[in-house]
Amino acid sequence: MSAAESWAEGPRSATRERRREGRARRDARLEVAGLVAAVVFVVLASVARALSNGPLSTADETAHLDYAYEVWHGHLPVFERGIQFHPAFGAVPPVQWVSQHPPLFYALLAPVVGPLIDGNHLYIAVIAGRFEDALIAGTTVLATWWAARQVRPGDRVVAVVAALATASTGMLILVGGAIYNDLVNVTFCALAIGLAARALRTGLTTRLVVAAALVGVGGMLSRLVFAVFLLGLVVALFVAPTRAVTARGAWGRRVLAAVVVGVVAALGAGWFYLRNRALTGNVAGSHPAWAAAHLGRHDRTASSVVTDKGFWEQLFAVYRAGLPTTSPLTWVLLLAPLVLAAVVGVVVLVRTLRARGRRHGSAAADAQPAEVDGVVGRPLWGVPAGWWVAAMMVAVFVLTVFLEVRFVMGGGAPNTRYALPLVPVTAIVGAIGLTALGRIAGTVLTVLWSICAVVAYSSAVGLVTPVGPAIALTATRGDYVVSLVVFAFMVVAAVVLRLRRPPAVGVDAGSESDVHADHGGRPDGA
């Protein structure tokens, strides 16, 4: 290059850099706009559902409200003692059949609903409790977005579409518009997925281990099913890259991190499960004999459960909102993105295996230690971090389904709410499927999916028959219209972001070098 060409290239290079920085800032603003819209939408949608659904319309909701009321008065509920307040409306359970759940959600709810019930403002207490759950639904969307950013670092599109998919989940809106303890648990499940992915991609740090310990305690104090996600998080810490001079030091740090998180969770939440065992004979706090005698539930074989079409329809109809569990729209919303993601995963796997075959001659060189900030490190057993993340998400999905099969085998019912902990997994994977194709195809798929989702959501909101005070119907209609506007804005933000920067296809979209730039290189693992 001549001196004149070199002189001219300097300004052009600076201009290109400024354009890249400006584009990155605009993409960041679009991501924030889409995320805020998703959070606001799910809160508005949950509020619309809360106002249009009869107060204490299920015995479960009454039992959850009673649990919070008992916590307000300084004690935990007991199954045989039944409901401690006397509602003038709604369904009342014969026993306190949610007393087996840990108290975190109810401790958050108690200061809101307790004084209102004591003041004989039961309807207001129900609505206030539902509104609090609507806000918790917003935290679920936020946590899933953050988890997606850890699963696919650098991929703003997948993160925003994952937030969109979570906010549009019909069952999440139904629960967000009622008084149930599920969404606090789902929020912790999403955080556990994000922390596990971050550990696998960037390595162990003190801050990450502390965060994992806090999430572990919070999750175990929300619902027992979180144990699956805690296990996934602990295993991720055990195999995560870590900086250490020797292999023994690396394994020591991994073991210490995993043990700390597990022990802190046990110390923080174990007391409640010991109480369950003392009261019922099992840590789950279940009463199978009572359920068999009063609800007609009996043990089933594994084959009768897994071959029962109704089991799968009832469990995974998470997008149904007000639609029947057998509605085709429900299954298009769930399965179409997952099938696309599975196809993309197979394509990426085949390409990866072929590329590794071509690089076989250089494998020995790739396995040599690399220096990171002056510390010797090795690739984690030669397995890319993205594949560890994918394996973790598959494992928590399979184990959660396995637990639900076991629950139904013991006489439980396959309630759709019990699949909500898997929503962060299906939302993130589904977002990858919807956005993995070309810009135009990905945009069209996202828009079509969103239209189907808003149709399902609309089926859950009553806009004709008043429920409660007349003003509730007017408020519902206004809230519903605003929610549609916010929904449209959310979709536009996702689509514009998708058109501006198509994400890379693959398990490790968002290069590892970018992820570890702050660490001076790739993390080490012995």
Q: Is the pLDDT of residue 176 over 90?
A: yes
Report pLDDT digits (tens) over 12-46: 666 777 777 777 788 889 999 999 999 999 999 99
Burial of 409 (0-12, 13-18, 19+ CB in 10 A): middle
Asked if 212 and 261 count as a contact pair (C-beta separation under 8 A), the reply is: yes
The contacts found for 467-471 with CB under 8 angstroms, 24 or more apart, are 467/51, 467/52, 467/53, 467/54, 467/55, 468/51, 468/54, 468/55, 468/123, 468/127
Give CA–CA dist 154/166, Å, rounded: 20
Among 457, 178, 418, residue whose Cα is nearest residue 315 = 418
Asked if 218 and 185 count as a contact pair (C-beta separation under 8 A), the reply is: no
For position 513, what pLDDT does the model report? 34
Confidence of residue 1 (pLDDT cuts 50, 70, 90): low
Mean predicted confidence (pLDDT) in 87-111: 95
Share of the chain above pLDDT 70, in %: 87
Report pLDDT digits (tens) over 445-465: 999 999 999 999 999 999 988
Q: How far apart are the first and last CA of the chain?
A: 45
For position 508, what pLDDT does the model report? 47
Report pLDDT digits (tens) over 338-366: 999 999 888 888 887 787 776 654 444 34
Tokens representing 451?
């239209």
Phi/psi at 511 (5° precision)? -65, 150
Report pLDDT digits (tens) over 106-143: 999 999 999 999 999 999 999 999 999 999 999 999 99
Mean predicted confidence (pLDDT) in 265-290: 93
The radius of gyration of the chain from alpha carbons, rounded to an integer in Å, stands at 25
317-329: b (≥16 Cβ within 10 Å) or e: bbbbbbbeeebeb
Give the helix ranges, DSSP H, for 53-101.
Answer: 59-72
Confidence of residue 9 (pLDDT cuts 50, 70, 90): low
Name the more confident of 519 and 478. Answer: 478
Give CA–CA dist 304/311, Å, rounded: 10
Q: Is the pLDDT of residue 274 over 80?
A: yes
Confidence of residue 501 (pLDDT cuts 50, 70, 90): low
For position 58, what pLDDT does the model report? 94
Give the helix ranges, DSSP H, for 73-205.
Answer: 104-118, 122-151, 156-167, 170-176, 182-202
Q: Give every CB contact of residue 226 below 8 A, 6+ residues apart in sequence.
A: 185, 188, 189, 192, 219, 220, 421
- Amino acid at residue number 54: G
Mean pLDDT of the chain, nearest integer: 87
Mean predicted confidence (pLDDT) in 423-441: 93
Q: Give every CB contact of residue 288 below 8 A, 6+ residues apart in sequence.
A: 297, 299, 410, 411
Count Cα neighbours of 225 within 13 Å in the Cβ-side half-sphere.
28
What does pTM read for this prediction? 0.89
Share of the chain above pLDDT 90, in %: 69
Q: Give every CB contact of residue 366 below 8 A, 6+ residues apart in sequence.
A: 359, 379, 382
Give CA–CA dist 192/231, Å, rounded: 10
Q: Is the pLDDT of residue 160 over 50?
A: yes
In the 8-state DSSP scheme, what is residue 422?
Answer: G
Give CA–CA dist 267/273, Å, rounded: 11
Q: Is the pLDDT of residue 316 over 90?
A: yes
